Chains A and B, each alone.
Chain A
Amino acid sequence: MEQAFNSEFYAKLRSLRMSIALSNAAGMSGGRKSKAKGNSVEFSDFREYMLGDDIRRIDWNAYGRFDKLFIKLFMEEKEGLFHVILDASRSMDYGEKNKAVAAKRLAGALSYIVLENGDRLFLDIMKDGQMEMHRGMTGMQAFRKSIEFLDRIEFDATGDFLSSLKRGNFKQSGMSFFISDGYCENLEEVFKYLRFCHQEVVFLHVLSPEERDPVFEGTVQMVDCETGADIRMSMSGSVLRSYKKTYEDFIRNIEATCKKHSVIYIPISSDASVDSLLYGSLSKLATNN
């Protein structure tokens, strides 16, 4: 398999500056606006003084004008919480231009953006219905750790996304980047669950060209690399056309599901160059911003 984090990746990464929109930051004190009122310098609102309020916050100018005590409220600034959720099932390890490599690069690039923006990063790896998590990381010094963690991932598991996610830590609202090939019966349940956990969801759908346009001839016994199940089919023009239609329906369904649950859908082809991955695919996040 190709090296995911090579010199080209790092070279491109250095020039990557992107701010990801997050409507509701809920982490510790940080650089993002939050719904909470706090101690930042940014004015938010006035309200009448209630017993127990800090008298230092009374706006004496207002008292002089209205003869009533008003308290000045300020914005609380918090850090954003970002989850990069990676599907480490065996099906991701496929294609001449391997999907796993593309997925790792995406995860690495997202880690860089998140950490560079001063937000908190969680790396969650879905494996056999379990969730392998890296504790929250902040600051650019944590980037190296995140890369090391990503680099170690083996794509050899079976995929049961919902079970894995239920074992994840989504107590606070934030944003989840869900990186997968989407071969899952209950993808809608996955999105519903994440939304339920107050997550803004971005689905990075990674597929290889071989899946898009399979080149098969004669009679083929196709074996599922995850389950070992097989199907025997005689490949003909009509069979391949039927597959193509099924594939297109599959993409359309996912797009519709994403739209329904306000999930940002970003299709990724595993043969895309590093440039295309970082500036083409992820730029949709910035545009959204």
Chain B
Amino acid sequence: MKVLYFWPLALLALVPVIIFMYLLKQKAEKKEVPSLFLWKETYHNVEANTPWEKLKKNWLMILQIILFLILILALMGPYLLNLGRSTDHVVIVVDNSGSMNTAYEGEKTRFDRAVSEAVDYVKGLKNGTGISVISSSDEAVLVVTSTEDKDEAVKKIKAIEPTYKSGNASAGVEMVKTMQSQWPSLTTVCFTDSNVEMESLNGYIVDVYKEKENIGINYLSHGYSGEKLVILAKVTNYGKMENAREITLYGDDKILTSQSVSFAPGESKIVYFDKVNFKGKVLRAELNGNDALEYDNACYDVLSESKQVNVLLMTEKNAYIEKALELMEGITVTKSNDIASFDSFVTQNFDLYIFDCMMPANFPQQGNVIIFDAPNKDLYSSKGVIDGALVEAKEHPVTQYIDEMDFGAIDVTAYVTPAWGEPFLTADTDEGVLDVAFTGDLNGQTITVFGFDLHNSELPLKMEFPLLMYNIINANVSTGILKENVISVGDGIQINGKADMKLPSVMKPDETQIDLSDYRIMYTGTDQIGVYTVKQELNSVEGEEEVFAVNFPSSESFVEILASDNQNEQTDVKKSASADLDLKNIIIVLILLLLGVEWIAYLRR
């Protein structure tokens, strides 16, 4: 037999207290009797049985001391070795997903319970057992592999941090399956609050789920009614009791309004906030008061500034341009080859018009324009057509990072760059360097003109082509850095930095700044709940800034399938990792029996 803790031995110091209390308890009551004639004889008879009688007289005290000693033993967490724990290799999977942050008992969360159970389990393992530890949420992390050092395993288990991510122990179990080939006889113990299918794995689930009252905000959304906001929040009562809570709406951390709402058990309600006057960026709804899971009591929404860009592509057929546009986020492309009906398209007010080898009769008066190899006498004039030319990039914002590029092209039109334009591609000919592409602002319209058909050039084959297109379109329209502004913890968010600015950086809710390594990146470091700021500087003064919010995943507010619902007969579900060999329960039963004996003895006295 081994014990988990030695600190309860300190309680032995209390044994004299029990004896002292018995001495106090023996204060004699004075009673008058007619004569001590008979009592004297009784006294002698009782005394004659000493010391047995003396012992009998105090046997209740002795019983209580024994009870106390057994209680200390129970607190020491005794267990028997080699009772089901004899295995060569053990994999411990600790679920650290968002739902594990739910309260289990008192201040302790399910995660705390899982860690303490896992630690107890490891301490109870036979020396020499290989121990691997995996933390599991949306992804599994191998914390330690096959260590025989129980202290190290305990240290690593204690170092696992709870996350706010969605998921459960399934990712961990999948990882264990891959390990099974290495250690065929391994035992898997999953410490989780939800069901996990262990299938062929030998082991069991330690269920740390405990029914608690919880209300959470599932999502927060907004719309416009004129200039004012209409905000809705979906709130669900996951508990089994009716509950009334106040929902407060904050705009950029200032209270906007609040509502009191009551919920029946299991009820979901949409809470509306009408005609909210707010011009800031971040909305936050918050449930007042406490419940089992605090992180789903607040939910963020961001009033997005980025807009969808509508592009009209007029072309007979140009897969190159289409592909280039497809790669860009936030762009909706409308394609047509019917230049005659262009006037009807214009009424839709596109943000960008691309004319590929065609030109409408009436040039659009609004929106930016990109023209490939099409004349327009009103706007620019040509110098003539070059049969074949080596086109080179010229230093210009749209050719940033690709100004070393060159490519061949045939039937290239050289232009006289108008006053409002700046050339960015040139062709070195016998007649000198001629401008073959330019861009510039004219009456609020950005107009970019290419002097060649893409099909007649090597440009689409160049690796710089997408970047050039991206730069040009970015110069023509603003798609914003972020495509979406509200995600859940652990989700990735696409950051589309502008190539003409410095590399973007992300400021997390705890104000740590992450400098990104690329302009376009799927940022996945969304491990905190709150508002993240993405910044991109042009220079020390100018720059752009957008925010996105990360919410607690609503799927983690409650556990859909409990471990106790496990239908697989092979998967054992326990409430404690050491239940089958823990002597604590046996000792507690023993204590209760002894208490019963003491009670009967007390009554018989």
Contacts and interface: CB of A to CB of B under 8 A. Distances in A.
| A, B in one complex | yes
B41 A183 contact: no
Contacts of B26: 218-219, 234
Contacts of A218: 26, 28-29
Interface string B33-58: 11111111111011000000100110
B36 A231 contact: yes
Given A221-B28, A234-B57, A237-B605, A211 B46 contact: no
Nearest to B54: A234
Contact of A225 (B27, B32, B38): B32
A224 B53 contact: no
A216 interface: yes
A231 B35 contact: no
B201 to A, nearest CB: 60
B604 interface: yes
Contact of A219 (B29, B34, B43): B29
Contact of A224 (B36, B43, B45): B36
Given A219-B29, A225-B32, A225-B34, A231 B605 contact: no
B46 A233 contact: yes
A247 B40 CA distance: 11
A222 B53 contact: no
Interface residues of A, number: 40
A217 B603 CA distance: 11
A223 B27 contact: no
B26 to A, nearest CB: 5
Contact of A91 (B30, B31, B34, B57): B34
A56 B29 CA distance: 80
A234 to B, nearest CB: 5
Contacts, number: 91
Contacts of A247: 38
A262 interface: no
A157 to B, nearest CB: 13
A178 B339 CA distance: 147
Given A94-B34, A224-B36, A226-B35, A237 B604 contact: yes
B39 A231 contact: yes
Given A94-B34, A225-B32, A232-B28, A217 B605 contact: yes
Given A219-B26, A221-B28, A231-B39, A238 B34 contact: no
A205 to B, nearest CB: 13
Interface in A162-208: 181, 183, 208
A236 B35 contact: no
A94 B36 CA distance: 13
Given A237-B604, A238-B56, A221 B39 contact: no
Contacts of A219: 26-29
A95 to B, nearest CB: 8
A223 B33 contact: yes
B147 to A, nearest CB: 59
A218 B58 CA distance: 11
Contacts of A235: 605
Interface string A34-76: 0000000000000000000000000000000000000000000
Nearest to A237: B604
A220 B31 contact: yes
- Judged by DSSP, the binding face of A is mixed
A214 B42 CA distance: 13
Nearest to A225: B32
Contacts of B56: 236, 238
B39 A243 contact: yes
Find the residue from B35, B40, B46 having the highest chain A CB count within 10 A: B35
B57 A236 contact: yes
Given A183-B37, A234-B57, A237-B605, A243 B42 contact: yes
Q: Considering residues A95, A214, A217, which has the most beta carbons from chain B within 10 angstroms of its beta carbon?
A: A214
A112 B605 CA distance: 47
Contacts of A234: 26, 57
Contact of A231 (B29, B43, B53, B57): B43
A183 B34 contact: yes
Given A219-B27, A233-B43, A233-B46, A225 B33 contact: yes
Contact of A236 (B32, B40, B605): B605
A211 B36 CA distance: 11
A1 interface: no
Nearest to A227: B36
Most buried by A among B34, B53, B57, B605: B34
Contacts of A211: 34, 38
A250 interface: yes
B42 A183 contact: no
A222 B39 contact: yes
A220 B43 CA distance: 12
A26 B26 CA distance: 61
Given A216-B31, A237-B604, A246-B41, A222 B46 contact: no
Contacts of A227: 36
A11 interface: no
Given A237-B605, A246-B42, A220 B36 contact: no
A238 B53 contact: yes
A190 B440 CA distance: 146
Given A219-B28, A220-B28, A233-B46, A243 B605 contact: no
Contacts of A220: 28-31
A242 interface: yes
A224 B29 contact: no
A111 B31 CA distance: 35
A239 interface: yes
B38 A222 contact: no
A65 to B, nearest CB: 68
B45 A242 contact: yes
Contacts of B57: 234, 236
Contact of B31 (A223, A229, A250): A223
B34 A222 contact: no
A73 to B, nearest CB: 52
13 contacts: A91-B34, A91-B35, A99-B34, A183-B35, A211-B38, A220-B30, A221-B28, A229-B36, A233-B43, A238-B56, A242-B45, A246-B45, A247-B38
Given A94-B34, A222-B32, A229-B36, 11 more contacts: A218-B28, A221-B31, A222-B33, A223-B31, A224-B35, A225-B33, A231-B36, A232-B28, A233-B43, A246-B42, A250-B37
